[in-house]
């Protein structure tokens, strides 16, 4: 029998209830034996305070169960429960304590990373702000003359923006120009006809989508569009997006 989506199986729910009861009982016993406050009390130890927090959040979850309240944020605290096992292994507890003691020293490393990101972010904004929006557009005179409705206003490889053709203007020393746009293909055939040649040589309608006219040769105007690569996520238009792009380059991850 299948459980409804989002419903916890009864065995796992019973196991969760048993674990919570065990944690709560252990906390009560320690409080009675050690006392609650004080240097040697229950809350005087850092690990006991973690146990107290986990049990307290569990009580809050059970008290709100059945009400019209979202418990997703509260239930995320369950991931801290395995940390209780560290309190049972002395060597593991010493190792974790040592790692926590070194966290303040990692602040200098984070400050250095922030400084490097900040410097390279400023350089990226100064050099490439807005350049990733450059596309090869077709002149309005050509579009109005031939009434080309089946083509996009700018050149899009494979008809999508997943891998855009980013051109460089004449004043920039970029790698791609609008003259580098490849020829149009129709049925695996590269087209070489011009708009005027289509009517005179083939008798076909020049603005027909199946006519083998190399319309891509008219994408000769490089100017800024409205869309950056990857749905606007990759750009250097401001310092925030520059940090994101630098992080992706540094981590070699396309996130």
Span 148-175, pLDDT tens digits? 777 888 998 887 888 899 999 888 777 8
**Sign of torsion, CA 22 28 29 34?**
positive
Q: Tokens in use for 32?
A: 């009675």
Greater model confidence, 60 or 70: 60
Q: According to the model, what pLDDT value does residue 1 have?
A: 45
d(CA 176, CA 71): 53
State pTM to two decimals. Answer: 0.55
Please say if the pLDDT value at position 87 is more than 70.
no
The residue-averaged pLDDT of 22-36 equals: 81
Please say if the pLDDT value at position 72 is more than 70.
no
Please say if the pLDDT value at position 234 is more than 80.
yes
Q: Residue 237 gets which letter from DSSP?
A: S
Which of 248, 220, 222, 219 shows the shortest CA–CA distance to 233? 248
Q: Share the mean pLDDT of the chain.
A: 78
d(CA 123, CA 117): 10
Length of the chain counted residue by residue: 255
């Amino acid at each position: 029998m299948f459980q409804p989506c989002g419903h916890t199986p009864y065995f796992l729910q019973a196991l969760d209830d048993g674990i919570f009861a065990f944690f709560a009982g252990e906390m009560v016993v320690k409080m009675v034996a050690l006392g609650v406050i004080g240097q040697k009390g229950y809350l005087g130890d850092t690990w006991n305070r973690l146990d107290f927090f986990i049990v307290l959040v569990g009580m809050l979850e059970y008290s709100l169960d059945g009400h019209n309240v979202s418990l997703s944020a509260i239930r995320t605290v369950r991931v801290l429960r395995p940390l209780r096992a560290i309190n049972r292994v002395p060597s593991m507890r010493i190792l974790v304590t040592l790692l926590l003691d070194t966290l303040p020293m990692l602040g200098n490393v984070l400050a250095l990373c922030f400084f490097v990101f900040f410097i390279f972010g400023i350089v990226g904004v100064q050099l490439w702000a807005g350049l990733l929006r450059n596309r090869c557009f077709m002149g309005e005179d050509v579009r109005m003359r031939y009434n080309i409705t089946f083509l996009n206003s700018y050149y899009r490889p494979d008809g999508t923006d997943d891998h855009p053709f980013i051109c460089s203007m004449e004043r920039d020393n970029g790698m791609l120009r609008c003259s580098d746009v490849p020829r149009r293909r129709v049925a695996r055939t590269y087209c070489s006809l011009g708009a005027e040649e289509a009517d005179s040589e083939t008798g076909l309608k020049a603005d027909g989508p199946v006519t083998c006219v190399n319309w891509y040769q008219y994408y000769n105007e490089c100017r800024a569009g409205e869309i950056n690569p990857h749905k606007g996520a990759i750009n250097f238009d401001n310092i925030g997006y520059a940090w994101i792009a630098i992080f992706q380059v540094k981590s070699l991850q396309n996130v």
